[in-house]
Chain A
């Protein structure tokens, strides 16, 4: 898995924003991770502790907001949440792979001091 690489990217983004704001510490990092992103939140947490060592984000709090998968049903014109293996609209039983949410891999916000 590539959680360490992703966390290195997240840290680089965070350090960049923190230095722009002349912050001396990063207290909290919030990520948004989609269920379809192929990323394990627990592995992210582990990677976070490793990559932040010796940086101003060391001992920062990591918040991982998970994003459930959402599909759009073209028949009902509504969104629905598929189960892991089943992308059928619960109302009309039409199969839909029109994914509107679930692939997110994003750093949403930082708390700095």
Chain B
């Protein structure tokens, strides 16, 4: 046993160096219980975002899907809504590169801000917080976060949204909800998009809906073609009802 510290390590190597009476070469290891979530920091930013959005009375959507499922087209149609359903829409768009989506959304009448993530495959709550500080939130009624096209990574990150919306286009295959369970399990709304193409791609609607219902029984389901305007009324009415109910306040 080491006489200086009382440890019981037997293979202790003691080295005597001139001027230093006792020198240890052995390690005193001990265990620290941590039990901390790796995303704790993100979650705390998300909570701050949620408080901030609620205090502005904003309905916040976090829209996620694979690349090319129709997120931007869907948001364009929300921004272009007329009459009772015309709302001031702000959009935060996440993309690996290019500002194309933000330009499209601005043309549709939305206030849009692009976050180019470089190599990051998802948006995090602090990125959204930073982007939101460049928008006049009190002038907006709906804030839409268009996440990076990816069904894996974005699902793990709470951004402080009111509603999480997952898109599945008919061109992607009916079994997608089974392949990406985490995204679908966390959805408040699932939107089956591009239904105008269903026949051309021999889309099996019944199987797809059964898969969505199985993986996301909690989610509300809408079937739309944003480009052709099919099914958009029900979806826009739903958003309208949420705003009237002030679920976000």
- Convert A87-108 into 0s and 1s, putting 1 for each residue whose CB lies closer than 8 angstroms to a CB of B: 1000000010101000101111
Q: Are B34 and A36 in contact (CB under 8 A)?
A: no
Q: How far is the CB of B66 from chain A (nearest CB, A)?
A: 14
Which of B28, B40, B152, B218 is close to A38, meaning CB atoms less than 8 Å apart?
B152
Q: Are A105 and B152 in contact (CB under 8 A)?
A: no
- Convert A24-39 into 0s and 1s, putting 1 for each residue whose CB lies closer than 8 angstroms to a CB of B: 0101000100001110
Q: Are B156 and A37 in contact (CB under 8 A)?
A: yes
Given contact pairs A109-B31, A110-B34, A36 touches B122 in the complex (Cβ within 8 A): no
Which of B30, B31, B39, B120 is close to A105, meaning CB atoms less than 8 Å apart?
B39
Answer yes or no: B68 CB below 8 A from chain A CBs: no
Answer yes or no: B109 CB below 8 A from chain A CBs: no
Which of A1, A109, A111 is close to B121, meaning CB atoms less than 8 Å apart?
A1
Q: How far is the CB of B229 from chain A (nearest CB, A)?
A: 32
Question: Which of B56-64, B90-98, B178-186, B201-209 participates in binding chain A?
Answer: B178-186
Place the interface of chain A in its size category. Answer: 20 to 34
Q: Are B182 and A38 in contact (CB under 8 A)?
A: yes
Which chain B positions have C-beta within 8 A of A1? Answer: 121, 152-153
A29–B83 alpha-carbon span in the complex (Å): 57
Which chain A positions have C-beta within 8 A of B28? Answer: 113
Interface residues on chain B, number (Cβ under 8 Å): 32
Which chain B positions have C-beta within 8 A of A36? Answer: 181-182, 185
List residues of B whose CB falls within 8 A of some A CB: 27-41, 120-122, 124, 152-153, 155-156, 178, 181-182, 185, 214-218
Q: List 29 interface pairs A-B (beta carbons < 8 Å), by A numbering.
A: A1-B153, A2-B120, A2-B122, A2-B156, A5-B120, A6-B38, A9-B41, A10-B38, A13-B34, A13-B36, A17-B32, A21-B30, A25-B27, A27-B27, A31-B38, A37-B182, A95-B214, A97-B185, A97-B218, A99-B185, A103-B182, A106-B36, A107-B38, A108-B33, A109-B35, A110-B32, A111-B32, A112-B30, A113-B30
Known: A13-B38, A110-B31. 17 other contacts (CB 8 A): A1-B152, A1-B153, A2-B120, A2-B122, A5-B124, A9-B38, A9-B39, A17-B32, A18-B32, A97-B214, A105-B39, A105-B156, A106-B37, A107-B34, A107-B36, A109-B33, A109-B35
